[in-house]
């Protein structure tokens, strides 16, 4: 009924490999980043929670702060987050240790810098200089700390949008469950069919 090759291919879909390639990788398009990470989740800043320690997205645990370590200078709106106008605006981002990738669009600002600490970086520090309006994404093997997006110009407005991370684990598990059930069902049908073809002697 079902060949061994077919069942192996089903299991390969049900039990995927690692989410993305090893080591530090950078991406300049959202589609390439989504392909590398498998599935992305875009932060809705409008529904994030404002507290004394910053702006927190409860579904991922990511915290966004201004240069003072708070959210008082941040203006959330849908999938966009703005700091400024002010001198040298900056958005600091704290990622949980389980999130090993991020991507964002640098909507406004001049002399932009995206920097962070990570074991995959030379001397544990990475700094990039993307252009305004571009997408910038990263995948790594080790937790990312001290992530900051900054504008090196005074009296500027800094805006990031479409901040993306890999789909939270709970959502990935929910998506994988139907595939696991389908794979298990096909294996069961194959075994049942084989038993019917070769019944045990009484």
pLDDT of 47-105, one tens digit each?
Answer: 999 999 999 999 999 999 999 999 999 999 999 999 999 999 999 999 999 999 999 99
For residue 201, give every residue at least 6 positions away whose Cβ sits within 8 Å of its Cβ, in sequence order, or none: none
Q: How far apart are CA 182 and CA 175, in angstroms?
A: 12
- Domain 20-168 is in which class? mainly beta
CA separation for the pair 61, 79 (Å, rounded): 16
Of 114-118, 136-140, 184-188, give the lowest mean pLDDT range. 184-188
Beta bridge partners, 26, equal 138
Phi, psi angles (nearest 5°) of residue 175: -70, -35
Alpha helices for 29-159 (secondary structure H): 30-37
Would you say 132 and 139 are in contact if contact means Cβ atoms under 8 Å apart? no
Cis peptide before 85 (omega within 30 of 0): yes
Q: Which token pair is 173?
A: 């598990």
Please tell me the predicted confidence (pLDDT) of residue 123.
93
Does the pLDDT value for residue 188 go beyond 90?
Answer: no
Distances (CA, A) of 1 to 14, 50, 127, 137, 198: 20, 57, 56, 45, 13
Q: Does pLDDT of 153 surpass 50?
A: yes
Looking at every residue in the chain, the average pLDDT score rounds to 83
Written as one string, the DSSP assignment of 8-48 is HHHHHHHS---SS-SS-EEESSHHHHHHHHSSEEE--GGGS
* Confidence (pLDDT) at 18: 38
Confidence of residue 114 (pLDDT cuts 50, 70, 90): very high
């Amino acid at each position: 009924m079902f060949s061994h090759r077919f069942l192996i291919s089903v299991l390969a879909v049900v039990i995927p490999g690692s989410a993305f390639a090893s080591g530090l990788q950078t991406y300049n398009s959202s589609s390439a980043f989504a392909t590398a990470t498998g599935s992305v989740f875009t932060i809705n800043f409008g529904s994030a929670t404002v507290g004394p320690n910053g702006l927190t997205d409860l579904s991922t645990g990511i915290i966004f702060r201004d240069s003072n370590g708070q959210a008082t200078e941040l203006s959330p709106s849908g999938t966009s987050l703005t700091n400024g106008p002010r001198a040298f605006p900056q958005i600091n981002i704290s990622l949980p240790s389980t999130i090993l990738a991020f991507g964002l669009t640098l909507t406004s600002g001049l002399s932009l810098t995206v920097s962070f600490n990570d074991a995959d970086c030379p001397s544990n520090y990475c700094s990039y200089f993307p252009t305004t309006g571009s997408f910038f994404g990263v995948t790594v093997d080790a937790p990312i700390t001290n992530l900051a997006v900054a504008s090196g110009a005074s009296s500027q407005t800094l805006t990031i949008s479409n901040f993306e991370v890999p789909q939270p684990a709970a959502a990935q598990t929910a998506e994988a469950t139907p595939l696991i059930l389908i794979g298990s069902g096909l294996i069961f049908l194959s075994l049942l069919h084989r038993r019917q073809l070769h019944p045990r002697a009484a």
